[in-house]
Amino acid sequence: MPADCSSAAASASRSDMARKERKAREARKKEPFTARVLTTVRRIPAGRVATYGGVAALAGKPRAARAVGNIMRDCRRPDVPCHRVIASGGRLGGYGGSEVLKRSLLVAEGVIVSGTRVRELDRVRWTQVASRRARPRPRRARAGSRKRGDHGKS
């Protein structure tokens, strides 16, 4: 019987270790995305808004709008303007339970809010412009194409 007990204990120990490793992996996956989301939201200028889906796409996971919402809900950092992230279609969405506070912060920044929607969303929607824009590549000549200056004259 002692052999059975030790193998059961070893099995339980292995499953605990596997569970801890899985949690650690999940935490590592969440941290970078969370950091990218917070960095993206910090870049939204005053008077502009971005959607949860837009922030998710800019953070590298275009289908993670709900995750962005959860990150915004749990964020209590004063350096992150969470009130500038809204739901699609201009709906305000939540703001730590106080939609009234979110509305008043946006209005104070000059965003027109009517009821629970941002008006003129196309005008105030922020989409990150690539700051490190890729330089256009020089065009490569195709095989059999003419050289510069050769206009078909023989």
Catalytic residues: 82
51 close to 87: Cβ distance less than 8 angstroms: yes
The two structure tokens encoding residue 109: 């920044």
49 close to 117: Cβ distance less than 8 angstroms: no
